[in-house]
Amino acid sequence: MDRRLAAGGMGIVYSAREVALDRRVAIKVLRPELATAVARERFLREAQLLARLQHPNIVPVHRADERDGLPFYVMDLIEGQTLADRLAAGPLPTDKVLRLARDLVEALAAAHAAGIIHRDVKPENIFLIGHRALLGDFG
């Protein structure tokens, strides 16, 4: 793992290089202080549910595993800014807000259709890539 990208209540996200496929990825690791059997199960269940979601506005999960007693999962590394970062620079134009809202509603609708509820929708979990939004970190 190269560097820490973010931390939340349940896990820490790092950037890394996936050696076998020679690509950059993000790895979310369960916080060590939370590594109980129940937390491990919940964390891996989150990864399994997210891996089932195939939608252009949801950050894809590729793999889940455990090392040294800590579960982790691997997902695309998003090279963009979060909505929180963008909003810190000032308000968005109305047309961009409408495009981003459409992307997020479509992502949430796909998750709900699969029986998955995003439990942490906030600007820090919305990534902006060009003219589209990607929803990540379902909590």
Average pLDDT (74-94) is 94
Question: Maximum CA pair distance of the chain?
Answer: 48
DSSP string for 83-98 = HHHHHHT-PPPHHHHH
Cα torsion for 4, 73, 122, 97, to the nearest 10°?
A: 100
Positive or negative torsion for Cα 94, 98, 101, 103: negative
- As annotated, the active-site residues are 120
| Measured distance CA(45)–CA(6) in Å, rounded | 21
Average pLDDT (17-37) is 92
pTM score of the predicted model: 0.86
If pLDDT is split at 50, 70 and 90, which confidence band does 87 have? very high
